[in-house]
């Protein structure tokens, strides 16, 4: 009886701490999404500072310093466009480590809001913990538009797992920097 009461008490404290963690709204993410091959016209429209270097995990890359110049939204949430490029034709899963899933959210592929309707707004959708990128056959690299939402300013890292490989590569993104803090 004492053990179960203690477990319930601890669970309640953890839930309160996570709910207070800097956000004015409940923080949640949907588990997974996928981003299929993008048509060439959409891929050309994807902007990214690819000439200034990249942060890579195997064949997956994002522009260097993707969290610099983030837009600050309500409740301490920071958002930024963060295109992804995959070289080759293997599927790659980009994921948020379990320890960061309460504060880092990804937006690629068909993004749905809380009511299940398509949206392009990072603040209107819960976000995803992992995205499976499905590159185009016969065209490499494949580039996708998308973004990231972060709560707080602690450093962020993601993981890239390449199809058929047992280990993932760490992708350090650095610390979020809001536009006004530059």
DSSP per residue over 15-45, as a string? HHHHHHSS-SS----EEEEEE-PPPHHHHHH
**How many domains does one find in the chain?**
1
In a domain, 15, yes or no: no
In a domain, 16, yes or no: no
Q: Which domain holds residue 63?
A: 28-181
The highest-confidence range among 36-40, 51-55, 168-172, by mean pLDDT, is: 168-172
Q: Taking the model in full, what pTM does it have?
A: 0.77
In a domain, 9, yes or no: no
Give the residue, 50 or 101, on which the prediction is more confident.
101
Q: What is the pLDDT of residues 155-167, one digit of tens each?
A: 999 999 998 888 8
In a domain, 22, yes or no: no
**CATH code for position 89:** 2.60.40
Q: Which residues on neighbouring strands pair with residue 77, listed in sequence order?
A: 151
Contact 171, 160 (CB under 8 A): yes
In a domain, 119, yes or no: yes
Contact 171, 157 (CB under 8 A): yes
Percentage of the chain exceeding pLDDT 90: 40
């Amino acid at each position: 009886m004492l053990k179960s009461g203690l477990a319930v008490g601890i669970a309640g404290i953890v839930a309160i701490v996570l709910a207070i963690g800097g956000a004015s709204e409940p923080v949640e993410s949907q588990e997974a999404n996928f981003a299929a091959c993008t048509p060439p016209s959409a891929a050309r429209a994807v902007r990214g500072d690819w000439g200034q270097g990249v942060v890579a995990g195997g064949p997956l890359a994002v522009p260097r310093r993707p969290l610099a110049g983030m837009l600050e939204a309500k409740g301490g949430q920071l958002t930024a466009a963060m295109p992804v490029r995959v070289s080759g034709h293997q599927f790659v899963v980009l994921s948020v480590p379990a320890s960061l899933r309460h504060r880092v959210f990804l937006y690629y592929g068909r993004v749905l809001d809380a009511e299940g309707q398509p949206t392009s707004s990072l603040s209107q959708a819960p976000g995803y913990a992992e995205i499976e990128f499905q590159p185009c056959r016969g065209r490499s690299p494949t580039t996708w538009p998308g973004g990231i939402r972060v709560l707080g300013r602690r450093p962020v890292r993601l993981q890239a797992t390449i199809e058929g490989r047992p280990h993932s590569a760490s992708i350090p993104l650095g610390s979020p920097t809001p536009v006004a803090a530059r």
